[in-house]
Every structure is written in C-alpha cells, then in structure tokens.
Structure 1
Amino acid sequence: MCGRFTLTAALPDVLNTFSVDEANYEYSPRYNIAPSQTIAVVADHDGRRVLEGYRWGLVPRWAKDIKIGFKMINARAETLDTKPTFRNLLARNRVIIPADGFFEWQNQGKEKQPFRFQLESKQIFGFAGLYDEWIDPEGNKLRSCTIITTRPNELVQRVHDRMPVILAEDAVNIWLDRNVSSVDQVMNMLQPYPGKSMIVYPVSRSVGNVRNTDSSLIEEVPLNSK
C-alpha cells in the first residue's frame, strides 16, 4: 500500500525531471500528501507533457458515488490486467505521479512507527499511475488517479509487504507514450525498484495526522520517539 507521500522539491526541478511542456497546476512543496487530496500528475496530451492536478483516489467513469475513490487509492500491479476497470485504463490512461519520498508504517508492539523511503540520490521520481474522468450528477468533470503498487524490494519488506511502483527514467518515457498500447508491455514495467538504490529512516508519528503538513515531518527521529 502507498497511503502517504511527499513532493518537496522546487517546481522547476519537477518540470525538468519529467520534461514537462506546460504546468496547469498551482504547485507548492508538500510534506504529507494524503488520499482524496488534489495531487500533481504528469500526463501526455497530444505529445505534450502537462503538469495537472488530479484527485488521489480513482473514481471510475461508471461510479455512482465519489466515495469509491477512498477504496481505490492504490491498484495492485499483479491483477491490473484481469480487472476491467484497470485493464481498460492501462492502454491509454497512464500518468506519472511525481514524488520524492513515501511513508510506510511498521507495527512495533501496540505502536506503529512511520518510515520515509527515498531514492539514495534523494532525487525526484515518478510513481506509475492510472487515471479516469468521472462526471457527477450536475455535469462537473473530475479527473482522479490511483498509484500502482507491487511486491516490496528487500529494503521496503522490512517495514511493509507492498510498495509503490517507481519508474526508472527510460520507463517514464514509455509509460507516458500514448502510442504504446500493449498491456503486456506496460505490465512488464511494474516491478519493484531496486532496494540497493533506496534509503529509509524513521520519522515522527505526527505524520499519521493529515492535518500535520510542515517540513518537520520528513526529519529523521530516533526510533521509539513520538
């Protein structure tokens, strides 16, 4: 599962990392991004990469209620091609979700200790995501997305049994290429990112509260601290 993440870099760095042509999103660094919030995504529109804001938590076009999005913040890579909702999106509705870290919680007795994972380089990276467009009863359009997860690498598995799919630079280009419509080809890209190229450290339990959003949330803390 991926239920919280960060994107703390400056906007120019995000745009440069993903070769974005146009930004249609009011960007600011964020230290505790949570489901149902509007998040930054990179989408391809007629060969141009655009940074846009989508709701995190997929609301399929057939949904009767927006609340379904709370159950669809993640999509399991192993079953994407067997579930019609996701298989239909795999061919054309792929997006990149920029991030520079994500949180997972480890059970420690009666407490849960959050950890932050990053690339060893501490650079920005992209989650593999899918999106859909939903129209509410009043005719308003909503674009929403889900983050694809896979089995954990050797680093993440110390904390959690799932991890988000992080795409390498060459994979980002393929993922965003709308001319690539082979489900088998894109499914093969949904592998765990190498653990040897990542780092992890404990952070404050304050990150568990979505109301907490300041930069102290990504500071390393001693284990067993609050």
Structure 2
Amino acid sequence: MCSHYQTLKDAELLLQKFGVRAKPVMGKYDMWPRYEGVFVRRPPEHDAGDEAVPEREAITGRWGLISALTRPDGLDKAAKLSTFNARSETAATSFMFGNAWRQARRCIIPADAIFEPDWRSGAVVPTRFTREDGAPLGIAGLWDRWRDAAGQIREGYAMLTINADDDPLFKHYQRAGDEKRMIVILPEGAYGDWLTAPVHQTRTFLVPYPARLLIATALE
C-alpha cells in the first residue's frame, strides 16, 4: 500500500490537468499519512442549481480519512488508525470508508509520484513510480468530513487500492509473503466520469493502470 507520495509542485497543473478553476494552498510536496494534502472532487453543492458552483474543486484535507459517522468520543482513536489507504474490496461495508462510498464521495489525488518498497535484494529499496510521459498521476480516492473536538468541520481523503498479485509491475514490490497491493491510477479521460458516476458504477473504475505506462526508479 502507498504510505508516501509527492503531490504537485506547480498549482497550474491542477488547472491544466484536473479541470479546477482556483488554485488551493498546496502545502507539503512530500506527503506522508496525516499530512494535509490536496485532492480534487465534485463540490458537495453541485446539485444546488447554482451556476457559480464549479464542476470540480481542489481543496486541502487530511491524508487519512475519518468517517462522518465517527462519534466525538471516538475521534482520538480514529485519528490514530491507518486510514490513508482503503481496500476497494471492503470499503463499501467498512465503518471508516462505507459512508464515503455510499455517498459517492469520490475524489482524485494529484501526484507527481508514488513510492513503494522493493525487498527483492533482502534490504528495502525505496522505489519511485511516475508516469512514462511525465504527466501527473490522478489517483482514485474517497473523501469524507467530520467535526473535530472543537466543533470545526474537517475533511480527509484516502487512496483506493486493489490486489496486485498478478500485476506485471507492482507484484514485485512490498514484503515477500504479504499480499501485493497497488493504488488505482485513473486514465485522464476517466476523471470526469469517476467524479460523477452513480455509486453502483464505482467498481468499474477500480482496475490496474497499464504497467508499460509507468516508470519505476530505485532510489539507492
């Protein structure tokens, strides 16, 4: 699973590649769980009939989703959980991700690169994955919002993952003996449909990105 990625350095790419109108505060470039990062979504007010509401917006939220159903006395525990990745096979029925799934709160996480560990030599070698054409990655995710202890609304997101045991690229990464997982990278042409499709079509997007279109660079 992905626990480290690099977001975009250039906010202009959000306008060019992800169709948002306004630049958000970009925050950190190297992203780790619980950092504040940028994600792209369909605005919650999209059905209000207001022409001023854009089709997409980029906002900043916690990389590590906390469900809107979390009780106030459970917030501290929820904040300590590893909710930065969501297993696509179980997300719909899990407590943490189920609300976002049922509400079709899908998002796209823009990234220059993701990182996975290579254990094949017996020692971990961090490996950086990028698109072969140099364009940013658009990672499929879920988002949700909750009220913190002070009563303020906060928002967070998680990356969706799928099994990679048979993937020609990602099956070589992570620890031997562990199930191989990979994040879902969306084709650019699917961005709009991913954000707007009805809930029952969510799983149709959760497929491997072609390995030939990615470059893996070992960081010795």
Could you state the TM-score of these two structures normalised by the residue count of structure 2? 0.83
1:7 aligned to 2:4? no
SS of structure 2 residue aligned to 1:22? coil
Change (3 A) 1:175 1:66: farther
Give the AA of the match of 2:25. E
1:198 positional shift? 0.8
Deviation, structure 1 residue 98:
0.4
Provide structure 2 residue ranges, at least 5 long, that are not aligned to the other structure.
Answer: 47-52, 175-179
- From the superposition, tell whether residues 192 and 107 of structure 1 become closer, same or farther in structure 2 (CA, over 3 Å): same
Which of 63, 75, 87 is the equivalent residue of 1:65?
75
Mapped to 2, the partners of 1:138 and 1:84 lie a distance apart of 23
Checking the alignment, whether the CA contact within 8 Å between 1:102 and 1:118 is kept in structure 2 is: yes
1:41/1:95 contact within 8 Å kept: yes
Cα deviation for residue 29 of structure 1 reads 6.8
Q: Determine whether 1:42 maps to 2:21.
A: no
String of CA shifts for 1:122-178, please: whole Å, max 9, x gaps. 21121111111111232111101111011223111111311111011222111112x
Name the counterpart of 2:159.
Answer: 147
Aligned to 2:25: 26
Displacement of 1:66 after TM fit? 4.2
Structure 1 runs of 4+ off > 4 angstroms? none
Computed over aligned residues only, the root mean square deviation of the Cα atoms, in angstroms, reads 1.9
- The answer on whether the counterparts of 1:22 and 1:50 sit within 8 Å (CA) in structure 2 is yes
Structure 1: unaligned runs, 5 residues or longer: 204-224
| CA distance in structure 2 between the aligned counterparts of 1:10 and 1:171, rounded to whole angstroms | 22
Report what 1:118 is aligned to: 130
Q: Which residue of 2 aligns with 1:76?
A: 87
Please give the alpha-carbon distance, in whole angstroms, between the structure 1 residues aligned to 2:216 and 2:194: 26
Pair 1:194-2:210 in alignment: yes
- Equivalents in 1 of 2:140, 2:121: separation in Å? 33
Q: Which residue of 1 aligns with 2:171?
A: 157
Q: Which one has a larger percent strand, Structure 1 or Structure 2? A: 1
What is the alpha-carbon distance in structure 2 between the residues aligned to residue 168 and residue 41 of structure 1?
A: 16
AA of the residue aligned to 1:181: P
Q: Deviations over 1:173-213 (max 9, x none)?
A: 11112xx3232x1111101111111110111xxxxxxxxxx
Aligned length: 199
Deviation (angstroms), 1:103: 0.3
Query: Is residue 174 of structure 2 the alignment partner of residue 174 of structure 1?
Result: no
